[in-house]
Amino acid sequence: MNMNREVLFPTPVYYKDIPNSVELNNYLFNHIKKWAETTPSESKTNSGTGWHSPTDMNKKEEYNPLTQELFKMAEDCNNDYGIAPKLGLGNMWANINPPGAYNKTHTHPNSLWSGVYYIRVPQNSGKFFIEDPRPGPNCYMPRRTKNLPKQLWRVVAYEAKEGRMVFFPSWLPHGVDINMNTEQGEASWRISVSFNFIQI
């Protein structure tokens, strides 16, 4: 094949599993559960019966064990991607998605990195998905003679995993599929923490 090829406009998506996250997740679960019992849900991208906390979670000292881990990974993302702005944690919030709840496709304007940390992930509780924001895939996708590589997919879905952090550019459209778990009570809740890093 006598030609050259460049791959343009790549989009980084980073993820990392926190070692020994069970203790941290149990700690976060207990604090978030108490918070949800006394605080009405905010209406953001959450749909169905999902609970969305206020977005000032990053200012609460009881969540410092998580924010410290987030800052470490944010710096790693900057270093890997070759950018060097000083970062601040603009906001952070908890999500509780019981069966029937989901999060609509959205972006996070005025931020650099956005992401999610998973605390509880029951079976069939909804995949995290990201979408190609370019208009091309919505116009025409030609037939191919072999399977499409992931970088050409219109939508990429990820199975969530307890103790995992995911970082991505804030302009990347993303959402969460509906929780289809059939258990009862707390065992069916999908619980995560979302966040935005900004340049300061």
In a domain, residue 178? The reply is yes
* Entry pTM: 0.91
Which pLDDT belongs to residue 48?
73
Residue 48 belongs to a domain = yes
Q: Are 169 and 32 in contact (CB under 8 A)?
A: no
In the chain, how many domains are there? 1
* Residue 145 domain flag: no
64 lies in some domain: yes
Residue 150's pLDDT is what? 72
So what's the pLDDT on residue 84?
Answer: 82
The CA distance from 110 to 90, in Å, is 10
Find the length of the chain: 200
Which contacts of 65-71 are long-range, i.e. CB under 8 A and separated by 24 or more positions? 65/24, 65/27, 66/24, 66/28, 66/117, 66/193, 67/92, 69/18, 69/117, 69/165, 70/115, 70/117, 70/165, 70/195, 70/197
Strands 102-106 and 174-176: antiparallel
- What pLDDT, on the 0 to 100 scale, is given for residue 9? 85
Among residues 111, 73, 120, 72, the alpha carbon closest in space to that of 92 is found at 111
Task: Name the H helices within the chain.
Answer: 21-38, 64-81, 136-139
- Residue 108 included in any domain: yes
pLDDT reported for residue 81: 92
Q: Is residue 147 part of a domain?
A: no
For residue 4, being part of any structural domain is answered with no
Q: What is the pLDDT of residue 5?
A: 86
Structure token digits, residue 156? 């990429």
Lay out the sheet containing 51-52: strands in order across.
14-17, 164-169, 113-120, 190-199, 87-97, 51-52
Q: How many CB atoms lie within 10 A of CB 198?
A: 17
CATH of the domain at 36: 2.60.120.620
Structural domain boundaries enclosing 109:
14-133+152-199
Q: What is the mean pLDDT of each run of 10 residues along the chain (200 residues)?
A: 85 94 97 95 80 95 96 96 91 96 93 97 95 75 69 83 97 95 95 96
Q: What residues form DSSP beta bridges with 175?
A: 129
pLDDT computed for residue 198 by the predictor: 96
Tally Cβ neighbours within 10 Å of residue 22.
10
Of 94, 69, 102, 90, residue with least CA distance to 170: 90
Do the beta carbons of residue 195 and residue 115 sit within 8 Å? yes
Position 144 in a domain: no
> Quick one: pLDDT at residue 142?
65
pLDDT at 32: 97
The pairing of beta strand 51-52 with beta strand 155-158: unpaired
pLDDT at 10 (0 to 100): 85
| pLDDT for the residue numbered 141 | 64
